[in-house]
Amino acid sequence: MTKSYLYKVARLPFKIVYEYEPDDEKQKNGEHLTPSLEPFRIESADDSLCFTLTVNDYFRPEYKGEEIGQYDCGGNNHGVYLLKDGGYQIVISDYSGRKCCLLQTDRNFTKGVVRLNGDKFMRSFGLNNSLMMMFAFSNAQNGTLLMHSSVIRKDGFGYLFLGVSGTGKSTHTQHWLDWIEGCDLMNDDNPVVRFVDGKAMVFGSPWSGKTPCYRNVEAPIGGFVQLKQAPFNKIRPMEVIETFASLLPSCSVMKWDKRVYTGICDTIGNIMETTTTYFLENLPDRAAVELSYSTLTGNTIQK
């Protein structure tokens, strides 16, 4: 028996198929594992699907293939193996090192099977991480990036704040929300950035880290800000090479996969053609927000 659900994130439709044994009454797997996907659910898809992910319960770490490596993805481990047919097998562990699932995909990430394992948290974690990879890598040649960033919308434009943990990103974006009227948070961790019809766009997504902010919203990009803590406030536009070196590590990539990697590099180039990235050295204060806000929008904060 199977149940299927369609979703559309950043205008890109995909399908999840849950497979059940006939005698499976508990149905540990199902749409209850992905509540953050609900705002993105659609009834039918007009465009072709970017991927189909089949979900079942047969967790067996087999068909290992050649180990590419073990990667730390923000505190959780991804063990990646290259299969003979060019596809991938990925074992995803949670923050305590428990193996949550086994993802097997074709080389283009258009068809995948994920075998879930463990309790509800582990299943949900494994499925969401599998979905992120399927989404990012099936669309890598399609002008699409899954970026690590916090996004604020103001007057119809999305502003993306970049920086690893500890750079004051959360503080700075929270200050925008607190002190600038009419701002809202589009996503706090993993928005989708796309180059569509010659325009750089940012989209809310079902993936938002620790902040539950799963919004089906979109906006043209108003600018990027790379943050760094400093004992002063200073902002400047970044050079091309600096911007590239700043945007690339903020994207989900697979460096060993030429198709994915060059696709992502080209998309970053297109995004850079139509946007500006600023480098903001900042204190956690109001003056920093006034500086970044006026530089990005040309406006001043209304007192």
Size of the site for another protein (CB under 8 A): 21
Neighbour count for residue 28 (Cβ, 10 Å): 15
Q: How far is the CB of 27 from another protein (least distance, A)?
A: 39
Q: What character string, x for contact with another protein (CB under 8 A) and - otherwise, covers 246-275? A: --xx-----xxxx--xx--xx-xx--xx--
Does the footprint of another protein cover residue 136 (CB under 8 A)? no
Nearest approach in angstroms of CB 53 to another protein is 25
Q: Which is nearer to another protein, 17 or 265 (CB)?
A: 265
266 Cβ partners below 8 Å, 6+ apart? none
72 binds another protein (CB under 8 A): no
Smallest distance from another protein to CB 80, Å: 10
Please name the residue that has the structure tokens 């097998």: 89
Q: Nearest approach, Cβ of 115 to another protein (angstroms)?
A: 26
Contact between 241 and another protein per CB under 8 A: yes
Least Å distance between CB 85 and another protein? 17
240 binds another protein (CB under 8 A): yes
Asked if 70 touches another protein (CB under 8 A), the answer is no
- Chosen residue from 42, 245, 285, 294 binding another protein by CB under 8 A: 245
| Residue nearer to another protein on the CB measure, 98 or 107 | 107
Smallest gap from Cβ 254 to another protein, in A, equals: 9
Confirm or reject binding of residue 5 to another protein (CB under 8 A): no
Which C-beta is closer to another protein: that of 217 or that of 254? 254
By CB under 8 A, tell whether 120 contacts another protein.
no
Read off the tokens for 182: 């009419």
Is 86 a binding residue for another protein by CB under 8 A? The answer is no
Distance of closest approach, residue 109 Cβ to another protein, in angstroms: 16
Of 84, 76, 86, nearest to 124 by C-alpha is 76
Residue closer to another protein (CB basis): 157 or 261: 261
CA gap 253, 257 in Å, rounded: 9
- Which residues contact another protein by CB under 8 A? 68-69, 240-241, 243-245, 248-249, 255-258, 261-262, 265-266, 268-269, 272-273
